[in-house]
Amino acid sequence: DIVMTQSPLSLPVTPGEPATISCRSSQSLLHSNGNNYLDWYLQKPGQSPQLLIYLGSDRASGVPDRFSGSGSGTDFTLKISRVEAEDVGVYYCMQALHTPPRSFGQGTKLEIK
Amino acid sequence: EVQLVESGGGLVQPGGSLRLSCAASGFSFSDYNMNWVRLAPGRGLEWVSYISGSSNTIYYADSVKGRFTVSRDNAKNSLYLQMTGLRAEDTAVYYCARKGTVLVPAALDYWGQGTLVTVSS
């Protein structure tokens, strides 16, 4: 099974400052079609997970453009250009290429300083 | 508007059974593959099961294989998870999640609000 490793696991951020979360896969997530099958999800406190980024860098509908995804192969990054209070929660990466099973990272808890 | 509403969670003793349901609305249910994902206390998200739109393809996580059974009734726009032989480590919030198609390939684009399953004596 694919192992997804996120860092850091805890991320205190001052509002207005940028934030970066890394995700590494134990195998390449690059498909022969050129797409990287890596998604990012955010689970806000008391809510269900929501899709932020799919195919490594495509923002889901309604996701603010301060969120961006990048990377290819085994190394991926989620960046928030300017953190807002509403961005607190746990961020997960998930691989969707080598399934089953779908594999999630351990989660990164973003909190406001 | 796409909606997924889970139900059926509750307190059950170890070794017991429970059936979760997920009612879907706002989209053509039979056209979409569906998943169950769980979040255990103090842990991260864990994929549990997958079922294709026609029910022809079904997968399970190793942790639940042989104990859980996923099914769907497209006429009722409903997804189910029959859980037997429940263990303390199955305690979690269970979410149903829709797998996207052409526009959002492979990602889980909509999630329900979740239903809590507690396995304890």
**Local confidence band at A68 (pLDDT 50, 70, 90 cut-offs):** very high
Per-residue confidence (pLDDT) for residue B32, from 0 to 100: 96
Taking an 8 Å cut-off on Cβ atoms, the answer to whether A54 and B37 are in contact is no
Q: What is the pLDDT of residue B69?
A: 98
pLDDT in tens, B38-86: 999 999 999 999 999 999 999 999 999 999 999 999 999 999 999 999 9
> From the candidates A38, A48, A97, which should be mutated to test the interface with B, based on the most B CB atoms within 10 A?
A48
For range A57-72, the mean pLDDT: 97
Instruction: Determine which of B1, B34, B47 to mutate to test the interface with A (most A C-beta atoms within 10 Å).
Output: B47
Give the per-residue pLDDT at A101: 93
Say yes or no for a CB contact (<8 Å) between A48 and B111.
yes
Residue A25, both tokens: 């896969």
Min distance B11 CA to chain A CA atoms (Å): 20
* Cα nearest neighbour of A100 on chain B: B59
pLDDT band at B102 (very low <50, low <70, confident <90, very high): confident
Cβ neighbours of residue B62 closer than 8 Å, sequence gap 6 or more: A101
Is the confidence at residue A19, as pLDDT, over 90?
A: yes
What is the reported pLDDT for B29?
A: 97
